Amino acid sequence: MRFLVALLSLLALAACGDASATRQGPLRLATTTSTHNAGLLEHLLPLFTADTGIEVDVLPVGTGKALRLGEAGDVDVVLVHARVREDAFLAAGYASERRDVMWNDFVILGSAADPAGIRGSETASEALARIHKAQAKFVSRGDDSGTHIRELALWAAAGVNPHDHPKSYFEAGAGMGGCLTRADELRAYLLCDRGTWLAYRRTLALEILTEGDPALRNPYGVLVVNVARHPHVRAEDATRFAAWLTSAQGQKAIGAFRLDGRALFHPVDAKPQGND
């Protein structure tokens, strides 16, 4: 409802042609489904609001779309995980600043039958090379999300092209949860962030087959949409949000978040932890 009001007031603002006025209503954050599915934001945002009095509306979308929303000035702040894209976003002047926020990691999931025999692979490259060789089914996000971008980079690092076997490479164009369901039905492999996996795993017959490779680390960054480009964005509140996330207090709150009794997102200065 609050989002609707914000949307309507934005439309009203646009209709008046008064584009320079700061938008009213809650701060708008575009973020990836991975932070949202795991419940991290539900944990962090009330703490932030209690500290600052700033309310936040969340738009959970893929990294690609989150950045586009930022480019268009439709949101005030963006929290995503695709470092190369984030740097390009900053360099193009869409953001006034970028900060490292936290990291979590990806895992490679598959059915217990493991037709490509990737269980126990030391590295993601090795696992993907085996999947490629066995022509085993693989579900790709295919939606230009941070996870999709990382998946493509991992294929490239493995030196194989998944499109060599179009019959067994399934590009879903869907979110992480939708892809988990699809992979579960197809008994296919897929790349998933650990948070979404933990949030969904009870309903799935998939299991973790490869994890712990440093190449599977997944850093998140926060970007404040550039007020010089979009005068209506709430730059001041957005900057406070970015500063809060990276403050000692915000970092502690991130580290304190638990799903199934385990830490999922790690403060930026945290050492990589062994994956139990």
Partner 1 sequence: MDFLAEGARDAFHLLLSGDAEVYHAIFVSLLCSVTAVGLAALVGIPYGTWLGLERRVLGSVQVLLLRLGMFIPTVVLGLLVYAFLSRRGLFGSMDLIYTKQAIVIGEFLLALPILGTFAHAAAQERGPRVAETVRTLGAGRWQVLRAVISENRLVLMGAGLAAFARCLTELGISINVGGTFRMKTETLPTKIATELSGGDFARAVACGVVLMLVAMVPGFIAFGMTRGKRS
Q: Closest Cα partner for 199 from 150, 147, 254, 258?
A: 258
Check binding of 64 to partner 1 (CB under 8 A). Answer: yes
Measure the CA–CA gap between 244 and 52, rounded to whole angstroms. Answer: 9
Q: Cα 17 to chain center, whole Å?
A: 34
Q: How far is the CB of 143 from partner 1 (least distance, A)?
A: 4
Q: How far is the CB of 141 from partner 1 (least distance, A)?
A: 9
Q: How far is the CB of 1 from partner 1 (least distance, A)?
A: 23
Handedness of CA 203, 206, 207, 208 (dihedral sign): negative
Check binding of 65 to partner 1 (CB under 8 A). Answer: yes
Measure the CA–CA gap between 134 and 242, rounded to whole angstroms. Answer: 45
Instruction: Give the β-pairing of 169-171 and 138-140.
Output: parallel
| One of 15, 17, 113, 166 touching partner 1 (CB under 8 A) | 166
End-to-end Cα spacing for the chain: 41
Measure the CA–CA gap between 229 and 213, rounded to whole angstroms. Answer: 39
Check binding of 62 to partner 1 (CB under 8 A). Answer: yes
Q: Which stretch binds partner 1 (CB under 8 A): 79-87, 88-96, 173-181, 218-226?
A: 173-181
Check binding of 207 to partner 1 (CB under 8 A). Answer: no
Check binding of 177 to partner 1 (CB under 8 A). Answer: no
| One of 7, 10, 47, 186 touching partner 1 (CB under 8 A) | 186
> Where does this chain bind partner 1 (CB under 8 A)?
61-62, 64-69, 142-145, 166, 170-175, 182, 184-186, 205
